[in-house]
Structure 1
Amino acid sequence: MSTGAVLAGVIDDHETTMIGLAGAINRFSDLGDPPVKLVRMSTTVDTFIAGDRRMCHVVALDMLLADGSAPSENTAKLVAAGYKVLVFSAGNNVRHLQQALANGATGVSLKDEPVTATVDKLRRVAAGETIPSLDLAAAIEADTEFVEANLSDREAECLALYATGYALTQVATQMNVQESTVKKYVDRIREKYEQVGRPAGTKIDLLRRAVEDGLLPPILPLKKRRNDS
């Protein structure tokens, strides 16, 4: 390993993504100074921290991991353990980016960017730089009146399905739970939104909240959609 190299880790639950990024880092690592060397990979933050004790300077962290862990908690754990964090994400949930950045991540690299850009961002984050970008700006845009409802991952999944138009029975099938469980999720979701002053008494209200929280993409006004059809 080259002296002075940036030592990087990757946390992602998609094996093909990790292998592909590993190969690309090894291929393009010497195209900058210092070189970037991938030394550790894991599918969860907990196993990454508890595993091989070789210290990494920077970690590329996926936002949605199969263990259901929250982006905010994952980022905070890594920062507390002494790692600098580069969000490595598809970028389709601004709230997840906000949570990661609020807990210490200092850059965002989208998975559809050229891998050379990701390698360069790993190098820059490791050096202590906060990387400005359109994605970063969007993720940290302040809204002083907005209050998070703090939905659990399962509640967020339920909301995204139910607000899209699925019936309770269909949501239950998709989530592999009982219909009564889905109803409890929906009731709890409404309670949480009510508690933070963002009531969602109707299904249309729930759809609005899902869009506001980045769980669903923005929906064109009906008039616009008719003109486009």
Structure 2
Amino acid sequence: MRIGFAAAASLDAKTADVPVVAVRLSETVSSLLAGGEGIFDVVALDMSLADGSRPGDNVRRIVEAGYPVLIFSVGDRPKDIRDALGAGAAGVSRKSEDIWRTLDLVRKVASGETIDNQDLAVAIDGDRDFVSAHLSDRENEALALYAAGFTRGQIAKRMNVSPNTVGTNIRRIREKYAAAGRAASTKLELHHRAVEDGILPRPGL
């Protein structure tokens, strides 16, 4: 398998015992793609390149050149991951993952698969920018408490407002998520949104 690394090959077969050969290591997409076509079977793309280019733009250029892309990410930049996936990246590999797991993902992407993992789900669904752009500080606070399991009465006491005000905040939050195409009609769904958007910590963290 030939793999190109940006920042930081061709596959003769798509099996677990086929060696992965890095044929080019580049600090920018421009230098990676220089020198002809059909050089790689897959490109492993770091989220941060030397030229400060945007991940989504980089993925788009690589895909247009005819190569599938696997993103390498620490996992702390969900907006950039969403942009990269929206531009056509086939999957995400966390830099903390075992090397054998990463190589398996490289082979799968080279064979035309799209990786369905938790990072993708979080990247697609989560949007911390949504919170800062659409929720007021009071709505943010109400969501954090409500999603954590507090009742409306308990939230009202903590926020020094009436239960009706809490109910109004929760209703507005639901409406804003619904308008963004992210269902939040139940308390469980609101909990998921709060975790996705960084209002509540992920389980186990």
Is the TM-score greater than 0.5? Answer: yes
Match in the other structure for 1:55: 39
2:4 corresponding residue in structure 1? 9
The answer to whether the aligner puts 1:40 opposite 2:35 as a matched pair is no
Superposed CA RMSD in Å reads 3.3
User: Structure 1 residue 34: deviation in Å?
Assistant: 3.1
Residues 84-141 of structure 1 deviation map (CA, whole Å, 9 limit, x = unaligned):
0000111110001000000000110011111111111000000000111100111112
Q: Could you tell me how far apart the structure 2 residues matched to 1:39 and 1:52 are? A: 13
Secondary structure of the corresponding residue to residue 125 of structure 2:
coil
Partners in 2 of 1:60 and 1:80 — Cα distance?
A: 15
- Structure 1 unaligned regions, length at least 5: 1-5, 13-17, 23-30, 150-211, 221-229
- Any idea what SS the aligned residue of 2:31 has? helix
Per the alignment, residue 69 of structure 1 pairs with: 53
Please list every run of 5 or more consecutive structure 2 residues that lacks an aligned counterpart in the other structure: 10-14, 134-193, 201-205
Instruction: Give 4+ residue runs of structure 1 displaced > 2 Å after superposition.
Output: 51-54, 217-220
Q: Which residue of 2 aligns with 1:173?
A: none
- How far has the Cα of 1:218 moved from its partner? 4.4
Q: Is the 2:78–2:126 Cα contact (8 Å) retained in structure 1?
A: no
Please, what TM-score do these two structures have when normalized by structure 2? Answer: 0.57
Could you tell me how far 1:35 is from its partner in structure 2? 2.8
Aligned ranges 1:1-229 → 2 under 5 Å: 6-12=1-7, 18=8, 32-51=16-35, 53=37, 55-141=39-125, 218=198
**TM-score with structure 1 length normalisation?**
0.52
Cα deviation, residue 68, structure 1: 1.2
Which structure is larger by alpha-carbon Rg, 1 or 2?
2
Q: Which amino acid aligns with 2:111?
A: A
Aligned length: 134
Amino acid at match of 1:9: G
Deviation at 1:219, TM superposition (A): 6.9
